[in-house]
Each structure stands twice: as C-alpha cells, then as structure tokens.
Amino acid sequence: MSNINGIKIQDGYIYWTAGSDFCRAELQSNFTISTAEVIVLGSEDGSSLNFDDFALSPNRWKTNQTNREGREYAYLTTSVNNSIMEISLDAKTGGNNETAIIAGALDSTEIAEPTGAAFGRAQGQLNKLYVTTGGDSGMNVDVDGVETATSKFLESFLLLK
C-alpha cells in the first residue's frame, strides 16, 4: 500500500489513509499489526475521492448526537474534493460502514482543499474538530471559474455533544 497519509492509533487499532482508501489494522501485543482492512474505498460509488488527513472522534460519538452503540466515527479530509466526510463504522468489525459528506462540495470554496483534521486537546476544546485547508494551489476555483480560495484554519468546525 503506497501513499500512506494521516496515521492515528486508538483503542488497539492503527488507522491510516492511502490515496482513496481509509484503512485500519489491529495492533498486536508484540507491536505488529494484523491484516489490514479497508474501511472505505473512496472510489466505490463511481466517484473518486482522495483522502488526506483524518481525525477519530475521541469519545467515538457522532457530531451533535449521542453515540449509537458499537459505532465509532472518523472525519476525513478529501483534499481536492473540497469536503469533509464522516464515516460511521462498526467498532469491532470495521464493517457496516455509513458515509456522508458533512461539509463542503467539489465545486465549492467553503472548505477548499482540506488537508488536516484534529480534535482539540485543551479543556473546552476536546469536542471540537479543527480543519486546515491548502488553498492557493490553483485547484481551488469555484464552479464558475471565478473565485479562488486561500489557506484557512477552520476553528470549531464541528461540535460533539
């Protein structure tokens, strides 16, 4: 697997993005990993998403809602697709995934080329998702070819309850 980006460890699993794939593998006690599983394939519905970075919900809860039992949530930046994708997956099997674009759109400069995502770490910020954008790359032009976007740091992008 090449093009690995955004590596995170949580609850005994290592997660990463690799181009259009979002994957995970169980960490073993000897610090090796089990066979990797693809959680989401960014090209499975005919579209072609390219995942960059991501953030795992620190409390496994979905944004603005209580947790559905046995589910965990990840928020992926889609780079040149100008959006944030929410992925709900079965915490034990990694299967039964649900995906939704929750912010931005391909022809929008609202979230132009999101490149990084992280939940806050300080008191009062633990349930806030922060997103950085690339901007200024020449790729971030609206559908009319007029408006271009610059780099941004989107604070308090999503709130978890």
pLDDT bracket for residue 134 (50, 70, 90): confident
Reported confidence tier of residue 34, pLDDT bands at 50, 70, 90:
confident
Most confidently modeled range among 44-48, 57-61, 63-67, 70-74: 70-74
The model's pLDDT over 64-115, given as tens digits with 9 standing for 90+, comes to 555 556 678 899 998 888 889 888 887 666 667 888 888 888 877 778 888 8
For residue 38, is it within any domain?
no
Residues 6+ apart with CB under 8 A from 156: 128, 130
pLDDT at 75: 92
Residue 82 belongs to some domain of the structure? yes
pLDDT for res 60: 65
Whether residue 146 lies inside any domain: the answer is: yes
Domain count along the chain: 1
| Residue at 1 is within a domain | no
Would 138 be classed as within a structural domain?
yes
In a domain, 120, yes or no: yes
Query: Could you tell me if residue 16 is inside a domain?
Result: no
Full residue range of the structural domain in which residue 144 is found? 48-159
Residue 85 lies in a domain: yes
Tell me the mean pLDDT in the region 122-127.
78
pLDDT value at residue 8 = 92
Q: How far apart are CA 54 and CA 74, in angstroms?
A: 7
DSSP 3-state helix, strand, coil percentages of the chain (rounded to 5)?
Answer: 0, 45, 50
